[in-house]
Structure 1
């Protein structure tokens, strides 16, 4: 019987594939990683809807708020590079728990921060640990699941993003309105502790990749990953993918309230409705990417994103139903891109390089997102009545980056398919 911790051989991504069933342990892994991703994503995303409240209560400018958001991204980027060299040299379960413990401490610091400076420091600490967790999780997925299952796995794990919209953010806003902006972070600490205990008790060690390691030192391993031309194409795609979300997200709630005329009381409803739709879109996009092709789903999601974003960022005061519709379409497009791209790019690294590649990828994503957040903070100007100016320019930049990303992912998809065909030809046994 095949060891469940063994890294599966890569398979091609045909237009159609035969669905495979998950084992009970695989179901647990998918579930616990989804919950873990929920805590990480909510910790980051909750700042955006709290933006209007934080700017007011801490008496800070949009530029300062942009730094609060990007502080997490920059520190996460730095830790990703530092972790890359030894990411493949330890049991992935132990590595996951170490960084998750640091994330919990950082989130606790956020919940106890009395002012802007302490919050900024807390976000840096949280980013140092939390920014690496996603890369470790995706390395675990790539180790335990074959290519023909990864679309569905990514769809369910990335559904954590949608669940944070449906449950996490509305509940966090409710808690923040009732007990202050510190309370959501403290509640998140409690959920994270329970998740960590479940990982300790039920997750098996993941060590098969250790058998593939060479004598290369940590720094040499990092240099190897950073110099591989195939890996560099994947990192370039991540830079482009991160730009859009990080430019739009930090000021989304402020734009919705001050420019579109939606009340703070209706804001949770927008996040809840869009989250429900994203919960449906995530697993569906994963299933379709396995059946129809991951790049095809990515391309359709990109087209939806470009059209709707171009319209949305130029809107003025609008009725609630229209704002809801536009947000739903944006999230369907974004979810389709995120799920299909994650599944597709999981085939880029070799088994022995997965942890390092995912760490560098996470680092590149976070740093790119941090730069995008700072850039957005420099572009957007808030008038005396709260209205945001130049948000339309951000929309145009997102459309441009999405278009370029489509071209980049096309060549990545082509290279992965060629690699799969070569592997099949090499391992084929003559009749």
Structure 2
């Protein structure tokens, strides 16, 4: 039995369509039914049979399904095709145009009560908001998408849950992002919902926050699970995203060649799929890899390419984060003035509620540059601001690095006890290659 509205709703629809077409009840009824029967159908006093409704639909010149539901024939199919077009627009990096497409699709899906299409449009709007760096709006869209699917299986809600976790991660709320991903994984595994796509998406998304928190064993395990699931996943874009995430655990384990190969594989997939946003992220991660391996010239080239692509796509938050990492490379290559200018230009786009870890990285770099210029007061101010941001986010690897820098500065200015406190704080956080936002892991503090 096809989905259908209640008799009163169908009756009102029949009466409206009949009137619009200038038909009498007798004309609509003949030759198989009576005007009296049409009158009872329009009044909603009878649940019309399928043959009767098919007769009425034919006389009115509309599809049987449209008469039952009020939705134009093939509406859902058309909306899904247009959702794919919007997704393609977003993939090319034009988040604003994609958001307009998704908003129009959402309005249409809401008008016709198409819940699945509403959820998909809201998911797309959330992804567009993340691209633009509007984390609060993105989170709100993801929450609404989840709400649309509250009666659907958990696997259907995973993309929206993952989007919400990413919005918290980008805001510097690492622990809560991990909590969301872990509880969803636990529920999927406990209930036996072994959906490879959903599991791969969650495990790959957990790697970044785990690494920033210093939970290297968990990140490595998530990467191992993701790699094992990949052969069962049919979506090449999802597999490519997984390879990009796994590369970070390989860097931390010193497996540079494998990490580079993983990123090259992901980049090739994105080129074939013409997904520019993710391709720019591959350039970003390769730049990070080359920094960790001491290849600063190659790192600068990759990060400049990523920054150009993201700026062209008007991805404000991501381009600001790449700019911070590029500034680190420029400083290491003796271009401190250019680095400082780049950092001052992006600090307004990132902060405690938006890209907290990279905001701390910017203050850390400005502190180092100030120290080089013998401005210890400004350097200390930047280090303290960075420390506050990192403690709030719980970014362990970056905290260890910063505590060493702050401790060294305090020791040089004669504040030995304060320096010891900073060193002790840093020693409470493990740091290793590939676990800090910027550059290679620092040496242990000289206690």
TM band (smaller chain): under 0.3
TM-score (norm 2): 0.25
Greater relative contact order structure (CA < 8 Å, 6+ sep): 1
TM-score (norm 1): 0.25
